[in-house]
Structure 1
């Protein structure tokens, strides 16, 4: 599992470069997210466009990553595949996270606010 980042003015995009976010990588994912997000911009957008499978452990790791952010920071999601989007919808987590169709859409929304 690999995470890459790109920083734009007011946000950081974290790209998950793996097709699964499940129990096998959940702890590693959470630890990496903690390190990446420390001291970064207040908006962190997690791009899950390559993730084809997300189980309850993976969902828990995403939620835990959100809780690990500084109080004035927020975690948003982008690029959810239909299967992953279904998990967020069934668990009502789509009401907890701002979800963007693409990471570029998240960048554009940041430009609209500025």
Structure 2
């Protein structure tokens, strides 16, 4: 599971560098994000710009990450591709997560992507 993370002010920015989050990678995804976000700031922003496919197992893994990061912390999403955005809207999970259209809207104090 390829992830890149960096502290950005009050958040940790985690970029998922995979095309798919499905049943084949869901468990590894969940554990990898948990490790990247462990003991970090209150906000965890999961950047899904590279993810073109997310199935129910992948959606379940994202929800599991939200629970794993713990109370008092928030998992936010940004840069959803059209297919992934559709999954979140159809399942109404867009009401559970804060979803930012762009990196800039998730991190308004920073205007460049590293």
- SS of residue in 2 equivalent to 1:15: strand
Structure 1 portions without partners, runs of 5+: none
Report Cα offsets for 1:22-76 as digits up to 9, x if no partner.
Answer: 0111000001111111110100000001000000000000000000012010000
Please state how far the C-alpha of 1:104 moved relative to its aligned partner: 2.5
Structure 2 portions without partners, runs of 5+: 110-114
Going by fraction, where is helix more abundant, 1 or 2? 1
TM-score in terms of structure 2 length: 0.92
Superposed CA RMSD: 0.8
- The aligned runs of 1:1-114 (5 Å cut-off) are 1-108=1-108, 111=109
Q: Is the 8 A contact 1:45 1:103 kept in 2?
A: no
- SS of residue in 2 equivalent to 1:36: helix
Counting matched residue pairs gives 109
- Mapped to 1, the partners of 2:84 and 2:17 lie a distance apart of 15
